[in-house]
Amino acid sequence: MLQMKGGVFVQNDIGKRIAELRRERGMNQEELAELAMLHRVTVAKYESGQVEPGALAIGRIADALGVSADELLCRVDKLPPFINMVKGVVPIVGEIACGQPITAEQNIEGFADLPDGVTADFALRCKGDSMNPTFQPGDLVLIRQQPEVQQGQIAAVGVDGEATLKRFYKHGDGIVLVADNPAYPPQVYPAGTDVQVYGLAVGFVRMFGKEKA
């Protein structure tokens, strides 16, 4: 199994971040451990930097602290908060898979609201749950069209002509696409595979109730 550090699942300062957020919420290590279904000693080792938490532990700790995994990891590409009724529109271009890739449809099926201060060229609709909790099925992910993204940023990526939404990494001569849902293993593509970055995810629109597709 591919194991990657430095931004995929953990960062060097993740322990300090856990301790900081825990103290801000007035928790001790035992209380955090209980909420996150972990041992207190394990939490102590995470905070001291002796052990780096895996994806499952990060998810549990984030839930216990009331933050997203991205906020816990201090990722540079943290997305805006929930967006519902906002002004400005961008075209919705087909769908994008958040599980296994599907063939991208290039026809415009409608329009998505665009929040103030966000520049995007089009929106793609999520399917599947591989990007949970960042995105949910039915979310419209706002994409700024660009041919390259930084390590670990969420991108709309075409693989052999099919589109998917994942965190993008260059690993050696190949490409690694990583889901936010730890149940999905990284997708590794060797050099020579037709992998194309369509654009960077810069926000999303989440519909509620009857508005959700």
Which domain does 125 fall in, by range? Answer: 89-211
Q: Could you read off the pLDDT of 34-46 as tens digits, one per residue?
A: 999 999 999 999 9
- Based on the structure, what is the number of domains in the chain? 2
Instruction: Identify the pLDDT of residue 91.
Output: 67
CA dihedral for 66, 67, 73, 74, sign (positive or negative): negative
- pLDDT score of 211 more than 70: no
φ, ψ dihedrals at 137, nearest 5°: -55, 135
Non-local (6+) Cβ contacts of 40 within 8 A are: 29, 30, 33
**CATH code of the domain covering residue 172:** 2.10.109.10
Confidence tier at 208 by pLDDT (50, 70, 90): low
The segment with the largest mean pLDDT, out of 21-35, 72-86, 151-165, 171-185, is: 21-35
Judgement on whether residues 189 and 156 belong to the same structural domain of the protein: yes
Name the packing angle between helices 55-65 and 14-24 (round to 10°).
20
Q: Could you read off the pLDDT of 76-114 as tens digits, one per residue?
A: 444 444 333 334 566 676 656 565 443 344 446 766 667
Tokens coding 124: 């793609």
Judgement on whether residues 103 and 55 belong to the same structural domain of the protein: no
Judgement on whether residues 97 and 146 belong to the same structural domain of the protein: yes
Which of 42, 73, 104 is the last residue before a domain boundary?
A: 73
**CATH code of the domain covering residue 21:** 1.10.260.40
State the pairing for strand pair 89-97/122-127: parallel
Cis (ω within 30 of 0) for the bond into 115?
no
Q: Is residue 48 part of a domain?
A: yes
Judgement on whether residues 118 and 187 belong to the same structural domain of the protein: yes
Contact 167, 141 (CB under 8 A): no
* Residues acting as catalytic residues: 130, 166
Q: Is residue 139 part of a domain?
A: yes
Report field, pTM of the whole predicted structure over 0.75? no
